Amino acid sequence: MVHDHHHHDNDDQSHLSEIELRVRALESILVEKGYVDSAAIDVLVETYEVKVGPRNGAKVVAKAWADPAYRDWLRTDATAAIASLGFLGRQGEHMVAVENTPEQHNLVVCTLCSCYPWPVLGLPPVWYKSAPYRSRAVLDPRAVLAEFGVRLPETTRVRVWDSTAEVRYLVIPMRPERTEGMSEEALADLVTRDSMIGTGLALQPEAMR
């Protein structure tokens, strides 16, 4: 199934909620008056979406890889295990960690809206909130994964978890091979945001060199 990227990118404004439109309007006034620089806003958003936010989740995953006791705690009570590292806050009150294995790959979607675990992943990426991702991740998760460049063995089943306002999921990606002896800090560098949503895999250590 070819996914047409063009049809929902051109009408930039139509998919925005009323709040988002108001934020855009406010932002353009501030930029116009010279109070803020639009490039600075972009940097801020990118920082939360890509750098700061997911770094928290990456620390959680790295600790789970390195510390079996913590991993067990994360699997039994993710909310408390995550809070113990200081990552608390709204949109992260009820967390469930789901672990990828050779037998099962987990993919997270929020079909109703775009519930997303902010304290561990920062801001949701634009595609996470898009209707095509939300509907197709449920109907044909393998095709969606293939579009993200993730090809799994036929024997691995794909399980889709639907986030709600009550429960948000964090995927614990499989630990890459040849990472024995790496520090938690170094391991965290291998954990991408997409790998914690399930649309990616953790990076291989050689990719970091």
160 DSSP assignment: E
Compute CA distances 139 → 7, 90, 93, 109, whole Å.
20, 30, 28, 11
Q: Report residue 142 as tokens.
A: 């393998």
CB distance 103 to 97 below 8 Å: no
Active-site residues: which are they? Answer: 110, 113-115
* Residue 177: CB atoms within 10 Å: 8
Whether residue 135 is annotated as binding a ligand: the answer is no
Whether residue 28 is annotated as binding a ligand: the answer is no
CB distance 196 to 97 below 8 Å: no
Whether residue 183 is annotated as binding a ligand: the answer is no
Total residues found in the chain within this entry: 209
* Residue 89: CB atoms within 10 Å: 13
- Rg for the chain (alpha carbons), in Å? 18
Q: Where are the beta strands (DSSP E) in 13-124?
A: 95-99, 104-109
Q: Which residues pair with 172 in a beta bridge?
A: 99
Q: Residues comprising the binding site?
A: 110, 113-115
Q: Residues comprising the binding site for Fe(3+)?
A: 110, 113-115
